[in-house]
Structure 1
Amino acid sequence: MHSSSSTSLSSLTDNSSTDDSVNVAKFPVSKSIPNIPDDDYGVEVDGEIIENEAEEGECNDNDKMDDQSVNQKKLLSMPLIYQMNLNKNKNIRGTVIGPSDENFHPVKVSEKLREALNGLDTNEKVIIEVTVGHNNFQRQQIMNAYECLYSKMLMDDLKNELGGFLLDTILALFIPTHVYLANLLHQSLCNNKLSRAIAVEIACTRTTTQMKAIKNAYRTAFCSTLEQDVLIKVEGMFGVMLQLLLCEPRNEQINEANVLIEEHVNLIVKDSNGIEKISHNVALFEKLFIGHPWSHIAMVIDTIDAKLGGNGHFVETQIIYNGNIPNDIKNMLLTIVKISRNTQWYFAEKLHDALCSSKPDYKTIIRIIVSRSEIDLSNICYEYIQHYNHPLIFDIRKICRGEYYQLLTSLLSEQKQNS
């Protein structure tokens, strides 16, 4: 039984894309991803050891979460390629957690899904409950168990029984996070119908460790490196700047000295056209925005605002109203400013724009809710209320109906972990 019709995103998991310029490969599920041994020092990606990092745009906080013992037990059986997507800051919360290991039974869950998919009437309620009730890594195990039990791919059965935006969102939730983001990057770079802003967003909201995993997934899926595709497919100065954002490492662990903050501030304030010059000078862009912690970038921007006025929005205003800054670079600079100051408010604003425009942007709604569900979606919902004086679900209710609305409601409701 199909839900309301839409242009499906199922091409994310199928080679038979209608757009020849976007060839999206099938993704590997967990049995083909090695369970890399845990260690206290870092994450191994493509043969390299990288230090664990806090989420981009968040503080590195060593405080213990109330359910840390449960989370630590879960980490023992989770490959590091999935661990790197877990939030480590007690003040930042996703809405999807998933059961603890002892309460996770992939075979029983697979049987439940089969029953929901195999009857005369598809039981969308059960599918939603199972999908939202498990984290991304657990969904990979569920897909493996389903295939072993029934010699069928769960994704294929979902495509046969569901449709519309409900299907799009369910499929996105079942794709491994690093593969999902690699697919989005490829579409953003290769499909002129999609905004390059998606690539900028991913570059600015993922850690260096996460970006390494995404780049590896990109190379596996598309037989080309992300670095090569950016330089070939994205022209001009914007392409060079995007390549720096996507491919250069960023160290979130260091606390940079105040003298460096002042040095970076002076690069802008000493020139009446300092902000405009960033858009025409790759070396200046790199010096200000590449490699530094987001907290450092935020302090630089705040200090410029304090020195030059504009009630805390001088930099943003200068970027927006400067006609000499190309539009693509203008949007990139605004994204950097907003994410450095408050990542969750950035996403809340993007959701509001997607929901309240004359034509709702369902792809953006799905992308943000899916990709942030295990990281900071709860905080995004909080920022939404703070800025718009009503819950996010209030605006979702205006444009969504039926099972799709129920799925989004479930994703936006903070789940409790069964320990």
Structure 2
Amino acid sequence: MAYPGYPPSGGYPAFPGYPPTGQESVYPPAGQYSYPPVPGGYPPAGGGSTYPAAPPAAGYAGTAGYPASGGYPGAPQAGGMPPYAGAPSGPGFGVPPAGPGFGGYPQPPAQSYAGGGPAQMPVGYPSGQTPSPVPGLPAAMVQCTQGTIQAAPNFDAGRDAEILRKAMKGFGTDEQAIINVVANRSNDQRQKIKAAFKTMYGKDLIKDLKSELSGNVEELILALFMPSTYYDAWSLRHAMKGVGTQERVLIEILCTRTNQEIREIVNCYKSEFGRDIEQDIRADTSGHFERLLISMCQGNRDENQTVDYQKAQEDAQRLYQAGEGKLGTDESCFNMVLASRSFPQLKATVEAYSRIANRDLLSSIDREFSGNVERGLKAILQCALNRPAFFAERLYYSMKGAGTDDSTLIRIIVTRSEIDLVQIKQMFSQMYQKTLATMIASDTSGDYRRLLLAIVGQ
């Protein structure tokens, strides 16, 4: 089942803070989505804010230390990592050194964005907005994300189908020929190749590939040939099918997709598998985690890109009173704010919360919650602050230590390959002082390694 025009070529719409460098930033550039001026500078002196002042109107270039190295103080560490050494506590506490982990999102690099000169976004956007070639995405943001896979020029579906047929015909398989095709065609072009293959040879390309391949390289190639929406729906179904539930898969997909994508996934889940995703979630999860996922399935997050700073202040106070400011936790308050507010609004709420609580909101969630609901809430905030860093971290922990979580590695590489894998690679290098390609090369082998590296790019 094909999904024309999916995914949107410009990536995810809920990303207003991109700097002109093309890299996602935790902070909006001054003059665009910058915070309102505050006498004496922003943030107010002694306010306990963990964020540095907004950059000068000239943009990010040459703005040393913005954001301050290391990201957010007090942020919880993934994988049992030790807390930052020597991080002071109390009002106005400082910023810890840079490093991996949920809070260690470094400053995105100031180079290599797709499309040339800086995209200028009118002040006060979206009022006075210009039409966008990508539905739901401001025109000035279309070039801010970049996939490693682009649609091939001079594409000929019949020619590619013939190449794949020759690669699988007779004794043995020419895996390199298959890799050369699938790693250099967009998902939409792969759907056309499947159709051309059946027209030309009266055979199903997917069945032929399955008969010729095996193991991880088979899983990777079959994932590449699935329409994007179907692959998300398929991944969710398999995460809840059979004994046990892969909660991290549910979080990774439902907490990071746009409203339109979630609605398409929900509809695809129903049409392809004959099941209601909400019923499956209720059967496989429980408590506050179940409620968070059901909220995500509605695809009703506010996507207005204008930030209401008064509401951000009110939400921050509400979250503080629901957690740090009382005995016990009002989980429904956290669910309401994090499930319904736009990502730019959540960024402003995070800033306001740090001034009120003298603590990072991620850190407070770590203290107030546990288990899957904690991971889900933090995933939402991490995506609001720096989505490529969230996926870079997921990739790192899929390969860190003994063994490799190949399903996670494959799923993220495939789903982000046409959206923001360029930015994910750059964040990966900054967070872990090694390239994504280097870590993939050391953790995989054979045709599986070759295909992953072909998608990721060197």
TM-score (norm 2): 0.69
User: What is the aligned counterpart of 1:261 among 307, 312, 321?
Assistant: 312
Amino acid at match of 1:195: Q
Task: Give the 3-state SS of the residue equivalent to 1:152 in structure 2.
Answer: coil
User: What is the aligned counterpart of 2:191 among 112, 125, 140?
Assistant: 140
Amino acid at match of 1:59: P
Q: Do structure 1's residue 387 and structure 2's residue 440 form an aligned pair? A: no
Task: Assess if the C-alpha contact under 8 Å between 2:388 and 2:427 holds in 1.
Answer: yes
For residue 120 of structure 1, report the CA deviation from its aligned partner.
2.1
Task: Assess if the C-alpha contact under 8 Å between 2:263 and 2:297 holds in 1.
Answer: no
How many residue pairs get matched? 347
Task: Assess if the C-alpha contact under 8 Å between 1:261 and 1:299 holds in 2.
Answer: yes
Equivalent residue, structure 2, for 1:293? 342
Equivalent residue, structure 2, for 1:353? 397
Q: Give me the whole-angstrom Cα distance separating, in 1, the residues matched to 2:299 and 2:17.
A: 20
Amino acid at match of 2:394: K
After superposition, where does 1:179-194 map in structure 2 within 5 Å? 179-194=230-245
Distance 1:151 1:198, change over 3 A: same
Task: Give the 3-state SS of the residue equivalent to 1:408 in structure 2.
Answer: helix
Equivalent residue, structure 1, for 2:449? 405
After superposition, where does 1:358-377 map in structure 2 within 5 Å? 358-377=402-421
User: What is the aligned counterpart of 1:303 among 352, 358, 382?
Assistant: 352
Equivalent residue, structure 2, for 1:320? 366
Task: Assess if the C-alpha contact under 8 Å between 1:269 and 1:304 holds in 2.
Answer: yes
Task: Give the 3-state SS of the residue equivalent to 1:256 in structure 2.
Answer: coil
Task: Give the 3-state SS of the residue equivalent to 2:178 in structure 1.
Answer: helix
For residue 293 of structure 1, report the CA deviation from its aligned partner.
1.1
Task: Give the 3-state SS of the residue equivalent to 1:205 in structure 2.
Answer: coil
After superposition, where does 1:17-416 map in structure 2 within 5 Å? 28=1, 30=2, 55=12, 57-59=14-16, 66=115, 89-100=142-153, 103-270=154-321, 273-274=324-325, 280-282=330-332, 284-310=333-359, 314-322=360-368, 325-413=369-457
Question: Is there any run of 5+ residues in structure 1 with no aligned partner, and where?
Answer: 1-27, 37-42, 44-50, 68-81, 415-419
Question: Is there any run of 5+ residues in structure 2 with no aligned partner, and where?
Answer: 21-112, 117-133
Distance 1:293 1:214, change over 3 A: same
Task: Assess if the C-alpha contact under 8 Å between 2:197 and 2:205 holds in 1.
Answer: yes
Q: Give me the whole-angstrom Cα distance separating, in 1, the residues matched to 2:328 and 2:454.
A: 46
TM-score (norm 1): 0.75
Equivalent residue, structure 1, for 2:86? none
Task: Assess if the C-alpha contact under 8 Å between 1:96 and 1:135 holds in 2.
Answer: yes
Task: Give the 3-state SS of the residue equivalent to 1:104 in structure 2.
Answer: coil
For residue 121 of structure 1, report the CA deviation from its aligned partner.
2.5
Q: Give me the whole-angstrom Cα distance separating, in 2, the residues matched to 1:157 and 1:210.
A: 30
- Following TM superposition, the consecutive aligned residue runs of length 4 or more in structure 1 with deviations greater than 4 angstroms are 51-54, 60-65, 82-85, 274-278
For residue 92 of structure 1, report the CA deviation from its aligned partner.
1.2
Task: Assess if the C-alpha contact under 8 Å between 1:56 and 1:206 holds in 2.
Answer: no
Task: Assess if the C-alpha contact under 8 Å between 2:16 and 2:305 holds in 1.
Answer: no
Task: Assess if the C-alpha contact under 8 Å between 1:338 and 1:346 holds in 2.
Answer: yes
For residue 234 of structure 1, report the CA deviation from its aligned partner.
2.2
Sequence identity (%): 26
For residue 141 of structure 1, report the CA deviation from its aligned partner.
0.7
Q: Deviations over 1:275-334 (max 9, x none)?
A: 9866x432x134311232112112212321243335xxx322333344xx3412111122
Distance 1:395 1:275, change over 3 A: farther
Amino acid at match of 1:230: I
Q: In angstroms, what is the RMSD of aligned CA positions?
A: 3.0
For residue 186 of structure 1, report the CA deviation from its aligned partner.
1.5
Distance 1:366 1:185, change over 3 A: same
Moved more, 221-230 or 346-355: 221-230
Distance 1:177 1:274, change over 3 A: farther
Task: Assess if the C-alpha contact under 8 Å between 2:151 and 2:189 holds in 1.
Answer: yes
Distance 1:83 1:357, change over 3 A: farther
Amino acid at match of 2:339: I
Instruction: Considering fraction of residues, name the structure with more helix.
Output: 1
